[in-house]
């Protein structure tokens, strides 16, 4: 089942060049109350990567904060973990002088989206990610450069939605 993009607020943007500490991304996500999301990284105004939030995030914007934190240019560049470093590694292959000042983050806020399975929002987030990648592929005839995996499997997954489950329970009562 496709995502109802009319239920998603207008995307918001975080320009890394205007900030000095990568942790500000997490504060910004909290300020906008973004818990569940899909996102895109732009480098030099080119869409390079599409992703989604992680289910086990402890802080607002955990995933995107870690990904951005590996880029040089931050006052306190992230060094103590490899988590999220794959984005920087891929970026630096294409752009050897990759720098946070060339990064722009676009976020689609799914926090209040009516997920088909309330306990598994990742089902719908994977579909949203796939739809964004597919849209990019239709326009540019390829996946975004930093994406390594096609999410086409997401829309083929069989899922028992909350509505279906609830109707089955009501039938048995």
Residue 61, domain member (yes or no):
yes
91: how many CB neighbours lie within 10 A of its CB? 23
pLDDT more than 90, % of the chain: 69
Cβ contact 32:64 at 8 Å:
no
- Establish if 86 belongs to a structural domain: yes
pLDDT for res 151: 52
CB 103 within 8 A of CB 40: no
Whether residue 166 is contained in a domain is answered as yes
* Residue 19: HSE in the Cβ half-sphere, 13 Å Cα cutoff: 22
Tokens for 165? 């489950």
Contact criterion met (CB below 8 Å) for 22 and 69: yes
Domain extent, residue 94, equals 7-172
Residue labelled with tokens 């995107």: 64
pLDDT band at residue 57 under the 50/70/90 scheme: low
Per-residue pLDDT, averaged over 88-105, amounts to: 96
34-69 burial code (b ≥16 CB/10 A, e <16)? bbbbbbbbbbeeebbbbbbbbeebeebbbbbbbbbb
Distance CA 120, CA 11 (A): 22
Q: Is residue 1 part of a domain?
A: no
Position 158 pLDDT exceeds 70: no
**pLDDT grade, residue 150 (50/70/90)?**
low
Look over the chain and give the mean of its residue pLDDT values, rounded to a whole number. 86
Whether 120 has a pLDDT exceeding 50, the answer reads yes
Number of domains in the chain: 1
Q: Is residue 2 part of a domain?
A: no
pLDDT bracket for residue 153 (50, 70, 90): very low
């Amino acid at each position: 089942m496709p995502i109802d993009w009319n239920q998603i607020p207008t995307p918001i943007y975080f320009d890394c060049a205007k900030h000095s500490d990568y942790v500000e991304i997490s504060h910004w996500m909290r300020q906008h109350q973004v818990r569940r999301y899909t996102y895109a990284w732009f480098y030099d105004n080119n869409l390079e990567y599409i992703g989604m939030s992680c289910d086990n995030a402890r802080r607002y914007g955990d995933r995107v904060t870690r990904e951005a934190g590996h880029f040089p240019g931050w006052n306190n560049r992230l060094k103590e973990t490899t988590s999220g470093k794959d984005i920087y590694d891929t970026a630096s292959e294409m752009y050897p002088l990759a720098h946070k000042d060339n990064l722009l983050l676009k976020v689609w806020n799914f926090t209040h989206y009516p997920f088909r399975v309330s306990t598994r929002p990742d089902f719908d987030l994977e579909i949203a990610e796939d739809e964004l990648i597919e849209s990019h592929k239709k326009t540019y005839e390829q996946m975004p450069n930093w994406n390594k995996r096609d999410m086409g499997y997401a829309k083929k997954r069989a899922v028992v939605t909350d509505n279906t489950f609830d109707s089955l329970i009501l039938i048995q009562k």
